[in-house]
Amino acid sequence: TDLCAQGKVAGQRVFIRADLNVPQDDTGRITEDTRIRASVPCIRAALDAGAAVMVTSHLGRPTEGQFKPEDSLAPVAARLGELLGREVPLVSDWVDGVQVAPGQVVLLENCRLNKGEKKNDEALARKLAALTDIYVNDAFGTAHRAEATTYGIAQFAKVASAGPLLAAEIDAITKALAQPQRPLVAIVAGSKVSTKLTILKSLAEKVDQLIVGGGIANTFMLAAGLKIGKSLAEPDLIDQAKAVIDAMRARGAAVPIPVDVVTAKAFAADAAATIKDATDVADDDLILDIGPKTAELLAAQLREAGTIVWNGPVGVFEFDAFANGTQTIAHAIADSKAFSIAGGGDTLAAIAKYGIEDKIGYISTGGGAFLEILEGKTLPAFEILAKRAAGG
């Protein structure tokens, strides 16, 4: 960080809030470690500068005060240790004090296990601030959350500053969207329908094409009067999906609705895949991917785009039989001359699976934070740092 470069952290207790919330399989093995790798430069800079370094992150959404083994950052500590080339001890019950010497780093157990973390409890935030001389927030992925380790501590710490990842992410995304090369095409897909629909509404005011996929596309298919069998969808949100379609149409822009889909009778890797026209979905069908005609239509639009914003796979790409849509989209983005920005855990996994990392203009470590910044919202964790920098 700047602070490190200025040599202001030697001998100081530096508390780094990172976003190490990475996906794991059932055995606790980390399946995608981009966020951990992206957090290393800040941690290494603080260590190299001679600070006593405490790092924390949340992992998942645990119940406060109720430790379960799957909530532990232990696998993250091991991976971080490999990347730093040194052991990273994991410290539990750390709110009342942390033992760490200059030149050492410790990982503080899942901060969302602390009572008051989620609701940004002031007493907790003051305790956290007392642990440190310098607070550094490098957790872009959690910058849309005002929690004790992302907001309250920044209010009360003696010094509070943005880490290099947080600063670079906000900079890149803000610059890219201020004056996008048009057409601006957004892909918003995945299963978190209710959380993303609000964001879709906002994007509908800005983008030239709004490509929907996954559970979101199913709800839009319902809005277009199509049947989706027993596919994942939120019928309560049909009217809002209609409003998005109408808002896009009113601007002469479009939400392409799938013309064909890949269906199965069960959600399983070995389920038989059947390609159907979007008008032929049966009552017992599950839509698990967009069909090949739809994928080609969307790929053609992506190749013509000036700027592409990608969040979410358009099908269940973890299962090979339902991966064609996401693979086609991924390659179209890679082949496009457009400046592309991608973000979200599943999106990063798809980018890795298809080996197109080098063909994406900017890969964000944020999921919800990425979408909120695209929406033009100020992220609270960044806002408080800006306030502190301005002397507030």
Return the number of the residue (127 or 145) whose C-beta is nearest ligand 3PG: 145
Q: Which of 142, 231, 326, 327 binds ligand 3PG (CB under 6 A)?
A: 142
Tell me the CA distances in angstroms from 172 to 44, 177, 200, 374, one per residue in order.
22, 9, 21, 11
- Site membership for ligand 3PG, residue 19 (CB under 6 A): yes
- Site membership for ligand 3PG, residue 145 (CB under 6 A): yes
- Site membership for ligand 3PG, residue 21 (CB under 6 A): yes
For 89-126, b where at least 16 C-beta lie within 10 A, e where not — what string?
A: ebbeebbeebebebebbbbbbbbbbbebbbebbeebbe
* Stretch of 66-74, 126-134, 140-148, 150-158 lying at the interface with ligand 3PG (CB under 6 A): 140-148
Provide the 8-state DSSP code for 63.
P
Residue 97 annotated to the active site: no
Q: How many CB atoms lie within 10 A of CB 171?
A: 10
Return the number of the residue (308 or 371) whose C-beta is nearest ligand 3PG: 371
The Cα–Cα gap between 139 and 147 comes to 12
User: Which tokens is 39 given?
Assistant: 């957090």
CB of 291 to ligand 3PG, least distance (A): 30
Catalytic residue among 17, 192, 315, 366: 192
- Site membership for ligand 3PG, residue 392 (CB under 6 A): no
# residues contacting ligand 3PG (CB under 6 A): 8
Instruction: Quote the radius of gyration of the chain (alpha carbons, Å).
Output: 22
CB of 269 to ligand 3PG, least distance (A): 24
141, 40, 25: which is closest to 82 by C-alpha?
40
Residue 345 annotated to the active site: yes
* Stretch of 103-111, 138-146, 253-261, 380-388 lying at the interface with ligand 3PG (CB under 6 A): 138-146
Residues 342-371 that bind ligand 3PG (CB under 6 A): 367-368
Please report the DSSP string for 264-293 in residue order.
Answer: ESSSSTTSPPEEEEGGG--TT-EEEEE-HH
Longest C-alpha distance within the chain, in Å? 68
The Cα–Cα gap between 63 and 42 comes to 29
CB of 73 to ligand 3PG, least distance (A): 13
The Cα–Cα gap between 280 and 83 comes to 50
CB of 94 to ligand 3PG, least distance (A): 20
Catalytic residue among 35, 112, 145, 196: 35
Q: Are strands 307-311 and 286-290 parallel, antiparallel or unpaired?
A: unpaired
Phi, psi at 341, each rounded to 5°: -125, 130
- Site membership for ligand 3PG, residue 150 (CB under 6 A): no
Residues 51-70 that bind ligand 3PG (CB under 6 A): 61
CB of 228 to ligand 3PG, least distance (A): 27
Residues near ligand 3PG, by CB under 6 A: 19, 21, 61, 141-142, 145, 367-368
Residue positions annotated with a catalytic role: 35, 192, 345, 368
